[in-house]
């Protein structure tokens, strides 16, 4: 049954205060309340309301427009706010189990307030705390209540100064030896052999006190090792429940995906915030008009619509995708927790890894570019700090970098697809994946024979048309990338060099096109379900078509070039490198 | 004669300190000293050295890494530094007359240090001071020494809260009436009827104290009016040396271009700074390699080169263009000062206006996108405030907005081209302009019949090939835009609506393609002059080709589409709107 607005209490959907947006709101072809209910669901809407209502009346969360916070004061406030979030205890363990999506909802609500707060809370609970829970054993359980009361506050040491993407080459080593931790729990001074420091001001997220730690011959008790995935016996022998290293690596891919899927949600949240500001501004800001006496809202200009509305459509499509991939990841995690060691479980891990590895780049770049467009679309007003677009840009920016540089990460996805094609070519294996994102590739020779046949612009307003074009494009790019890679190898390049030389014009667009297709496929299906309220079908269909055509348009040159090659099958296009 | 490095004293070209960049520097195919001499000229190089040497040893300009400046302290420092720049008196009036380019060199050097300082100095001298000089008369000359000693500090009130682009609709009016300025010169308190305030923190350039002023029935003495272009007699009659309003408007276009050409130089400076950081980082940062033991500099990766090097080429091409347009503008200004009222002078004003109106968007967007790419290409290190990429992004950002929103400004250029085509169609007038930027359009039917004929990739490495493609593209876009505009009008749109509906897919790409062509044309000619030192020809030719192909590639879909239409002359392409 479709959810309906009728019968909900008015507190869930308070009326907007009257103001200059009334005219546009009155012209809407749909009920925003119905759309919110369809997009979020009542349970999540109520949960958001609980969080926002608490923060709204708590003086610790009051904003002081114009007040200038020093770095130290900002960090102190952020720490106190984080502690307060624990006191509010918005989510019980039971809630998390029943409705895991609320975890990301909570992170996003905190991020809508301030990403430094969301990050501090997230790193302490979901990275530090939950790792102690999930990777530790009985001997670590004593720490857990102290962690969730913030008596113990965790830090998360990830990389080295000279290492980022190449985690395998990290030079910190741990040797087994008898027992001795980083700071003294009483004085908070660092323990001997440990040097800690602050990395200094960042472009954004400055409420988060990122630092560095140097360990020089530091002894850590054997008992401190989080030992579920691997342990050291008192005799110094390494033991692991996994039979082989490859399987252990596969299991850890799931953990890597958590970060990336969470970042997708963060990026989408930023895009939503920026768009709310810019679209509302555009509806009220008037400049020029058909006559000297009459000025019209800038939202009426084709240029302003072209600048902003595709990002609005992208926000809906990416929002749905990031939530649905989160749900898939929960399934993966539950399988792991239940000890599922099946081939399907391993394949699910790999598929989610491929989707998260391109999903994070797509979402974070779309948000970064969208925020910049919103900033410019608001003119000088967008340049005022109080209007928040600068903070959004600064706070979203690292989403393009952490948990894997976007350009580097895309290789994970193109390699996944190329690997599947190699299996098909060598062993005749089918393209099949648990979430079915690659299943269409099984008929790739047939798809490549299809032609784009539409007779009018109106036909293109169904996202099914763009979906078909995307499938063709991904098949084409996959075949081209495979051929280019083989050609590089035949010319004497080793695997490392061959892959590097195929990335810019082959692997990269392949990964991005596949990702856009997957996001679009899920959104298209979502908005064409029978349970979509009839009054929302038109607007959701338009959002799906707009996202589809706008994204596909970036590949227009490739589509034309491919068609040209087909019409001249004898030779290769001259412009190819 | 080509300038040579030999014989210059070593102080002009000190050796770089030894360090991790030595390896790459030793591999350079050209001498950086020769390139610097060719690009800047000895006179400007010496002038830059004078400025930097003075600032380097002056404690007032010392940076305090990690120190946190409050807004108030930053503005105070910025004011004191501005005053010190006047004391240094880097440029005499004679220098400015002999070598006007030094004015923009000074602004750019100050901007390389801090754009807030450059802006404060620029607004006070070139906007406030020079307007008093050029638009005032004898009765204002008493102010001039006080202005250049900063005894009087000028402000520049440009727009209204509700007005940006539509300057004609500004509602502040001035009525003639007997006599009474904004602040009391002794106490600095605002005068009666004047309310002043600060607009608050901005995304960048916070050393500049932008504010607002409200004038409520404020009396300003008639004598204070800057009266060279228009005056009010004691009886209240408006008098002007210009015969008609259109001519007065034409003369003022020159003044508008100063700001835009200056911004081009500012944007290019930001792009240069960001690239210096990112390219050097990429040459020393190592990640992954062909074997587990060997890591290679990230600059060796095709992806990293593809991300950064086209922006390096763009920086060279745009740098040359902004300087050459500055020189053209000086010519225009000298003609105005000499009382030249010829048709050529008016046409020169219009052409420069069209070039500055698209040049500012092209330069500021290229810089904004380039800085973001540099930020990401430096990974987490790029996100550290101390590495400056954040400040560059924030300080460059308003270049996309002030002196005309980029998207709005582009209409000036497309309208200029459409106007010339209309004259040709209606009156058979030739495409001719003083700087010859539109002359090629005179043979547009012939150009449209040309085909792209190259037989190898190597052929494309001459920027003449891309230039020919660009000329074709601009002719094509001009004809298409003209047709689309007529079609809109035939369908009943008025002029306002017709132009709005032609901008996104016609006028905008027309203006940008024309601009890229003009930048490329000038750079291509510059690097193919006989006076280019032989040892620099190869590298300059590659820069020109790279900028050409990279820019042209953004229009690849259009080129393919146009070709497809030509091969199916009967019908229109289905994908057109």
H or E segment to which residue B275 belongs: helix B245-284
User: How far is Cα B162 from Cα B281, in angstroms, rounded to an integer?
Assistant: 44
Residue A204: is its pLDDT beyond 80?
yes
Domain boundary among B99, B128, B148: B148
> Per the residue annotation, which of B403, B480, B488, B516 is the catalytic one?
B403
pLDDT in tens, B300-313: 999 999 999 999 99
Structural domain contains residue B544? yes
Residues A442, A361 share a domain = no
Partner-chain contact A561 B561, CB within 8 Å: no
From the annotation, which residues of B make up the binding site for FAD? 159
Q: Which residue range(s) make up the domain with A361? A: 249-404
Structural domain contains residue B45? yes
Over residues B331-353, mean pLDDT: 90
Lowest model confidence (mean pLDDT) among A161-170, A223-232, B525-534: A161-170
**Average pLDDT in chain A:** 88
Q: What is the CATH number of the domain that holds B340?
A: 1.20.140.10
Partner-chain contact B166 A390, CB within 8 Å: no
Task: Work out the number of other CB atoms within 10 angstroms of the CB of residue B449.
Answer: 11
Distance (Å) from the alpha carbon of A492 to chain B's nearest alpha carbon: 14
Structural domain contains residue B137? yes
Lowest model confidence (mean pLDDT) among A223-232, A374-383, A559-568, B77-86: A223-232
Q: What is the dihedral of CA B273, B274, B279, B280, to 10 degrees?
A: 60
User: How far is Cα A25 from Cα A84, in angstroms, rounded to an integer?
Assistant: 37
User: How far is Cα A421 from Cα A430, in angstroms, rounded to an integer?
Assistant: 9
Instruction: Count Cβ–Cβ pairs < 8 Å, chain A vs chain B.
Output: 181
Decide if B201 touches A, using CB distance below 8 A. yes
pLDDT in tens, A282-325: 999 998 888 888 899 999 999 999 999 999 999 999 999 999 99
Decide if A203 touches B, using CB distance below 8 A. yes
* Secondary structure percentages of chain A, helix, strand, coil, to 5: 65, 5, 30
pLDDT in tens, A420-477: 999 999 999 899 999 999 999 999 999 999 888 888 889 899 999 999 999 999 999 9
Residues B455, B397 share a domain = no
pLDDT at B138: 78
pLDDT at B172: 65
Residues A396, A268 share a domain = yes
Structural domain contains residue B226? no
Residue of B nearest to A171 (CA): B293
Residues A490, A365 share a domain = no
| Interface pTM, i.e. ipTM | 0.92
Residues B485, B446 share a domain = yes
Residues B327, B279 share a domain = yes
A194-198 and A211-215 strand pairing:
antiparallel
Q: Model confidence at A188, in pLDDT bands (50, 70, 90)?
A: low
pLDDT at B439: 97
pLDDT in tens, B393-427: 999 999 999 999 999 999 999 999 999 999 999 99
From the annotation, which residues of B make up the binding site? 159
Distance (Å) from the alpha carbon of B302 to chain A's nearest alpha carbon: 6
User: How far is Cα A271 from Cα A375, in angstroms, rounded to an integer?
Assistant: 11
pLDDT at B147: 81
Residue A165: is its pLDDT beyond 90?
no
Decide if A74 touches B, using CB distance below 8 A. no
Partner-chain contact A379 B164, CB within 8 Å: yes
Partner-chain contact B162 A302, CB within 8 Å: no
Domain boundary among A370, A404, A438: A404
Residues A443, A400 share a domain = no
Residues B65, B123 share a domain = yes
Over residues B504-512, mean pLDDT: 97
Q: Residues of A with catalytic annotation? A: 403
Residues A446, A397 share a domain = no
Sequence-separated (6 or more) residues with CB below 8 Å from residue B398 = A380, A383, B202, B203, B204, B205
Domain boundary among A148, A176, A211: A148
Decide if A390 touches B, using CB distance below 8 A. yes
Higher pLDDT pick, B543 / B95: B543
H or E segment to which residue B213 belongs: strand B211-215
Put simply, the chain B residues between 75 and 134 with a CB less than 8 A from any chain A CB are none
pLDDT in tens, B119-149: 999 988 877 777 777 777 777 778 878 887 7
Burial (0-12, 13-18, 19+ Cβ within 10 Å), B319: buried
From the annotation, which residues of A make up the binding site? 159
Structural domain contains residue B23? no
pLDDT in tens, A505-538: 999 999 999 999 999 999 999 999 999 999 999 9
Structural domain contains residue A180? no
Q: Give the pTM.
A: 0.93
Residues B449, B399 share a domain = no
| Selected residue of B164, B307, B376 to mutate for chain A interface (largest A Cβ count, 10 A) | B376
Put simply, the chain A residues between 434 and 463 with a CB less than 8 A from any chain B CB are 454-455, 457
- Tally of helices (H runs) and strands (E runs) in chain A: 21, 4
Residues A472, A366 share a domain = no
Structural domain contains residue A518? yes
Per CB-CB distance under 8 Å, the chain B contacts of A306 are: 504
Domains identified in chain B, total number = 3
User: How far is Cα A106 from Cα A266, in angstroms, rounded to an integer?
Assistant: 11
pLDDT in tens, A471-496: 999 999 999 999 999 999 999 999 99
Per CB-CB distance under 8 Å, the chain B contacts of A553 are: 557
Structural domain contains residue B158? no
Decide if A372 touches B, using CB distance below 8 A. yes
User: How far is Cα A368 from Cα A387, in angstroms, rounded to an integer?
Assistant: 16
User: How far is Cα A354 from Cα A373, in angstroms, rounded to an integer?
Assistant: 29
Distance (Å) from the alpha carbon of B390 to chain A's nearest alpha carbon: 6
Partner-chain contact A164 B379, CB within 8 Å: yes
Residues B143, B261 share a domain = no
């Amino acid at each position: 049954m479709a959810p309906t607005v009728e019968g909900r209490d008015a507190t869930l959907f308070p009326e907007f205060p009257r103001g200059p947006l009334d005219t546009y709101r009155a012209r809407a072809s749909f009920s925003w309340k119905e759309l919110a209910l369809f997009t979020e669901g009542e349970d999540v809407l109520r949960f958001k309301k609980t969080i926002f209502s608490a923060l709204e009346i708590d003086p610790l969360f009051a904003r002081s427009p114009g007040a200038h916070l020093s770095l130290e004061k900002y960090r102190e406030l952020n720490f106190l706010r984080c502690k307060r979030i624990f006191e509010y205890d918005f989510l019980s363990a039971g809630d998390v189990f029943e409705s895991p999506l609320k975890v990301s909802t909570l992170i996003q609500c905190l991020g809508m307030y301030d990403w430094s707060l969301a990050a501090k809370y997230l790193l302490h609970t979901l990275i530090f705390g939950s790792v102690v829970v999930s990777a530790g054993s009985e001997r670590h359980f004593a720490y857990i209540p102290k962690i969730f009361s913030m008596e113990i506050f965790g830090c998360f040491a990830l990389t080295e100064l000279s290492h980022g993407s190449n985690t395998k080459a990290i030079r910190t080593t741990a040797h087994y030896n008898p027992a001795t931790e980083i700071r003294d729990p009483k004085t908070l001074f660092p323990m001997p052999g440990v040097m800690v420091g602050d990395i200094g001001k960042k472009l954004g997220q400055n409420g988060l006190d990122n630092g560095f730690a140097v360990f020089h011959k530091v002894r850590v008790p054997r008992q401190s090792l989080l030992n579920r995935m691997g342990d050291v016996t008192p005799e110094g022998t390494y033991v692991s429940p996994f039979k082989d290293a490859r399987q252990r690596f596969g299991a850890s891919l799931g953990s890597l995906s958590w970060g990336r899927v969470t970042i997708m949600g963060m990026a989408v949240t930023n895009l939503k915030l920026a768009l709310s500001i810019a679209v509302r501004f555009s509806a009220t800001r008037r400049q020029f008009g058909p006559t000297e006496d009459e000025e019209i809202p800038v939202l009426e200009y084709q240029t302003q619509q072209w600048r902003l509305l595709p990002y609005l459509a992208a926000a809906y499509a990416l929002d749905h995708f990031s939530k649905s991939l989160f749900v898939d990841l929960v399934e993966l995690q539950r399988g792991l927790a239940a000890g599922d060691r099946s081939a399907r479980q391993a394949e699910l891990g790999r598929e989610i890894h491929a989707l998260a590895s391109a999903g994070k780049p797509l979402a974070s770049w779309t948000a970064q570019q969208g925020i910049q467009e919103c900033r410019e679309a608001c003119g000088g007003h967008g340049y005022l700090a109080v209007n928040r677009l600068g903070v959004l840009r600064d706070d979203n920016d690292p989403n393009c970098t952490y948990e894997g540089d976007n350009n580097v990460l895309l290789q994970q996805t193109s390699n996944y697809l190329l690997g599947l094609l190699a299996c098909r070519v060598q062993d005749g294996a089918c393209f099949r994946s648990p979430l079915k994102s690659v299943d269409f590739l099984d008929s790739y020779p047939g798809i490549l024979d299809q032609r784009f046949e539409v007779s009018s612009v109106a036909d293109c307003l169904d996202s099914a048309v763009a979906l078909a074009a995307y499938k063709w494009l991904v098949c084409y790019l996959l075949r081209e990338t495979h051929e280019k890679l083989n050609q590089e190898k035949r010319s004497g390049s080793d695997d490392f060099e061959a892959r590097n030389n195929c990335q810019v014009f082959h692997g990269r667009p392949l990964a991005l096109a596949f990702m856009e297709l997957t996001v679009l496929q899920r959104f298209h299906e979502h908005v064409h379900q029978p349970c979509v309220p009839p009054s929302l079908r038109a607007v959701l269909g338009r959002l799906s078509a707009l996202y589809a055509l706008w994204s596909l348009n970036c590949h227009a040159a490739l589509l034309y070039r491919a068609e040209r090659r087909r019409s001249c099958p004898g030779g290769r296009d001259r412009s190819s490198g």
